[in-house]
Amino acid sequence: MAITITKDDDRIVKTEYAELMQKSYIDYAMSVIIARALPDVRDGLKPVQRRTLYDMRELGIRHDRPHRKSARIVGDTMGKYHPHGDSSIYDALVVMAQDFKKELPLVDGHGNFGSIEGDGAAAMRYTEARLQKITEEAFLADLDKDVVDFIPNFDETEKEPAVLPVKIPNFLINGSEGIAVGMTTSTPPHNLAEVIDAELAYLADPEITTKGLMRYVKGPDFPTGGIVTNEEDLPAIYESGTGRIKLRGRVETEKGKAGRTNLVITEIPYTMVGAGIAKFLSDVAALSENKVTQDIVDITNQSSKEGIRIVIELRKDADVENFKNLLYKKTRLEDTFGVNMLAISHGRPETLGLRDIIRESVDFQFETARRKYTNLLEKERDRREIQEGLIKACNVIDLIIEILRGSKDRAMAKDCLVRGATEGIQFKSKESLVMAQQLQFTEAQANAILDMRLYKLIGLELQALIKEHEETVANIYRYEDILEERSSMTQVIRKELLAIKKEYAVVRRTQITQAQEAVYIEKAPEEMDVYFVMDRFGYAKTFDTATYQRNKETIDEEYRYVFPCKNTGRICIFTNTGQLHTIKAADLPLSKLRDKGVPVDNVSNYDSSKEEIVLLTSQSALNLYRVIFATKLSMLKIVDGGEFDVTKRTVASTKLTEGDEVISVTVLDGQQNMVLQTRDGYFLKFPVEQIPEKKKTAVGVRGMKLTKDDVVENVYFTRNLESKSIQYHEKEVELNKLKLGSRDSKGTKIRM
């Protein structure tokens, strides 16, 4: 066995070489594990991230102040807290600012901070950064209230927090990846609102199981979106803290040129962030080059700041579903994310399940809250002591003034106030001497009295002091209640969590489903009432009922089409070419008020450059009524709305003769009379009941006799006993006063 000889305090010590190597390696490994590679489960941060955020706070780089050079932040962090090289600090700063890597970016970056396609950030001398608002509110708040321990930095010239007082389970929300010695951590990011809901559920029932928590945490929520396809494996993963999550990118189909179909990848698996996109493009090109498939015509990467958009143009006769399966099997469009939720817990690395992480977070919240309110209580008690002393002093202010005037120095006056010592003090009367001997102010009260300014004797100032004292006493009672009653502290924590959720919650990006091998099966969403809206530019979206009711006037005013539907239903677009295009309501984003929505061209076969919308409504509404068609060549028919309950993206809604087009599609709901108005000024009013009901494939019957080159320009409907007028060439025409005629007659000409 090899032996090494070392010198220790002038003594020669013989050591087994193997023992020395083992001890040194263990020390090195633990240093890497604890001090560099693994996050702490309490704040979800690695040391370099924690130190960088703390340093930014100390530099005053707040969210409402100007950005500062990244080089300034990196240099200060390295000099004070993290002496491991500037590149590791800057890399951590960059990642905390990238919204495609973090569910909740903690740093607001200004400049080139890299891209989802793998472009690196600009050098630190070119970029700037500052803290995000949530970082200040949920990560760095209360550091001045002794809520966490501070430890010496590497050279013991500064103090740094051992852990940040994070108010949310950041280890779950932002996830973490790191390689230590002999172990790795890989935790996927999760939706902030869902994680907070789970923590609230744990606060309400500490005995809740992992299965119970998963009613709130559905699964990972990656910043890049995508689809998790092994939903049934998630309970075991969240119970043990380890497993494999299967991910797929989101693929949509679009109508391409010359009748081709385009596959458009709008979301990628989280594992493709970085160089993975270039690798994917290369792999797809290789499929064609290696003659694995002959379906590819072209592939382009149209991704931008707006999001991912990779377009694969397929041959006209390509089997789209089969090609999708090929992409899932042969490229990283379907990938796995290895889960190993390893973190530092109680000073050592542990693999934690969902419930363990939530429990650790809740325990940490109670610990920081206990320390915070203990600190606040002590300060309020000190404040109460001073306030009571000043109020008492104001009641005997004449005596105190007499003591001050009769004392030789501050020490003599203070001694009298604290102990009633009157030796050496000149008093005007014996009564004052006796009263002075009875004074028993505390040290703090005596100092406050001696420092008190004369304006404090003003009546209003005294009233303000009394009011302040009442508030202090109320705070003391409140803080004592929080510290003594767990339910009160729980309410405080709940309130903070709900406030964070209300301000910072975002809609889930990643879809959770169970899919078969290489086949995407769309999971039907839970049915709910929504409102479909579309603006004049053709951007469509849906609102939940609550959002619509809160903003009804604004929505009705700003959007061209607004109507209720089911999120599981379809939207019907009738066009002037006689086509019916359908859109799945689920394909439209359930949005907030100011979200842009998506162009209807992208989610249907409707082409706004070639067609005009005549009617836009929900398929469920059509099923309840009949629909009347009118064309410019005066062809009319009524069709049962149920005939338009189709699943195809596009069908013919009516048959048109050459040169004809649809000018009106109207849902019949009690209208009694129809008025046709031609371009040459002929008006014909007749009962709706004269129009026959036909199939959607029929042409219909003639509505009125047209003169040469005349066409129907407008269609109106009236009800009996209802007054309705229109403007025709600056002349007002009252429709209810028009003579009631018969279908297929010429009508009456209105003179201009």
The catalytic residue positions are 126
Please say whether the beta carbons of 143 and 159 come within 8 A.
Answer: no
The DSSP symbol for 154 reads: T
The DSSP symbol for 292 reads: S
What is the pairing mode between strands 227-228 and 511-512? parallel
- Return d(Cα 520, Cα 180) in angstroms, integer: 36
3-class secondary structure, 378 = helix
**DSSP states of 301-350:** E--BTTB--EEEEE-TT--HHHHHHHHHHHSTTEEEEEEE-EEEETTEEE
Amino acid at 284: V
- Numbers of helices and strands, H then E, in the chain: 22, 37
Hunting for tokens 């999971």 — which residue is that?
523
Nearest-Å Rg of the Cα atoms of the chain is: 38
Closest CA to 674 of 592, 608, 735: 735
3-class secondary structure, 591 = coil
Helix (H) or strand (E) run with residue 58 in it: helix 47-58
Question: How many residues would you count in the chain?
Answer: 752
Q: State the helix-helix crossing angle for 192-204 and 354-395, rounded to 10 degrees.
A: 70
- Return d(Cα 103, Cα 752) in angstroms, integer: 65
Please say whether the beta carbons of 292 and 276 come within 8 A.
Answer: no
**Structure-token pair, residue 149:** 């321990």
Amino acid at 103: E
Amino acid at 370: R
Q: In angstroms, what CA-CA distances link 678 with 218, 668, 681, 728?
A: 59, 22, 5, 11
Helix (H) or strand (E) run with residue 443 in it: helix 443-451
Phi then psi for residue 751, to 5 deg, are -80, 140
